[in-house]
Amino acid sequence: MAVQYEELAAGISGLGEAVRLQGRTLMLVRGHLIYPLRYAKRDVPVTAARLRRATGFRADLICRHGPPPRQQAFDLDWGELDASEVHPDLELLPEGVQLVLVAYTCSMEKGVMRIEWGSAELRREDRYLIGTVTSRCPSQIDPER
């Protein structure tokens, strides 16, 4: 379902520059990579949703460009992330880029029901921890702004 990447890029194209990562168009706006994430098919706040595991490209993106962890991880002697294991597309991003997740709920019957954005960190068990969230239901968004 790559349509969300293209739609978001088209909607904010005048604000930044497009970058192709993992075959998808994402937007870089003033040093921030805008990354859409559908987290549920029903209207539930992202802080209350059961989020799926983050693996591969998405996990690397959050680890490299998300905020530093708010809580120190337990030392389970798992070792550090090996730079050779990081997704190669992440090398295309400039140094210092910060990740902004645009998390949303959407269903075929109701369309987009909730949009939230902010930062996310990755917990050791590969689950998202989303913080600094600003929330808007689509009916609250002023299309003239």
Per-residue pLDDT of the chain (145 residues; tens, 9 = 90+): 567 778 888 888 889 999 999 888 999 999 999 998 888 899 988 877 777 777 788 888 888 888 876 665 555 455 554 445 778 889 889 989 999 988 888 888 988 888 888 887 776 554 555 555 555 555 554 444 4
pLDDT at 45: 84
Which H, E and C letters describe the chain, residue by residue? Answer: CCHHHHHHHHHCHHHCEEEEECCEEEEEECCEEEEEEEEECCCCCCCCCCCCCCCHHHHHHHHHHCCCCCCCCCCCCCCCCCHHHCCHHHHHCCCCCEEEEEEEEEECCCEEEEEEEEEEEECCCCCEEEEEEEEECHHHCCCCC
